[in-house]
Amino acid sequence: MPRQGHNRFGSTAVAVQAKQLGTPSFVAFPMEVVIAHEHITAFLGESVSADPGAEQGLTRDELYGLYTSWCLLNQQSPSTAHALWAALREHRINPDHNALSMTGPAATDYILSSAPSLS
């Protein structure tokens, strides 16, 4: 049965009981990756929508900017861009080729932050 805890390096450690040995072995995951997976579904549900007719989806810069705006509005600490790309791939979204568009309050925040002359 897996157990989860934190190690002294700021990583989440998952202990798996080895049946033959009777001692747990630990696998460490960087915290930023674990955090991204905890809230990526909420980010996707609240901030992006599929736009199959779009010739071009969101760029990496737009995706990460939108994500950081969502984190700010939801009082979440943003993960690194690398962690976001990994989480998107787990949701079968290619950060380089997607048919996504921005939506919701995070989209408004991102657009206003990107073009200060509009505010």
Q: Report the predicted TM-score, pTM, of the whole model to 2 decimal places.
A: 0.69
- Checking if the pLDDT of 1 tops 90, the result is no
- Checking if the pLDDT of 71 tops 70, the result is yes
Kindly report, residue by residue over 27-53, the tens digit of the pLDDT: 455 555 555 566 889 999 999 999 888
Query: What burial letters (b/e) apply to 73-104, b meaning 16+ CB within 10 Å?
Result: beebebbeeebbbbbbeeeebebeebbbebeb
User: Which pLDDT score, from 0 to 100, does residue 68 have?
Assistant: 97
pLDDT band of 117, cuts 50, 70, 90: confident
Domains in the chain: boundaries: 31-113
User: Which pLDDT score, from 0 to 100, does residue 73 have?
Assistant: 98
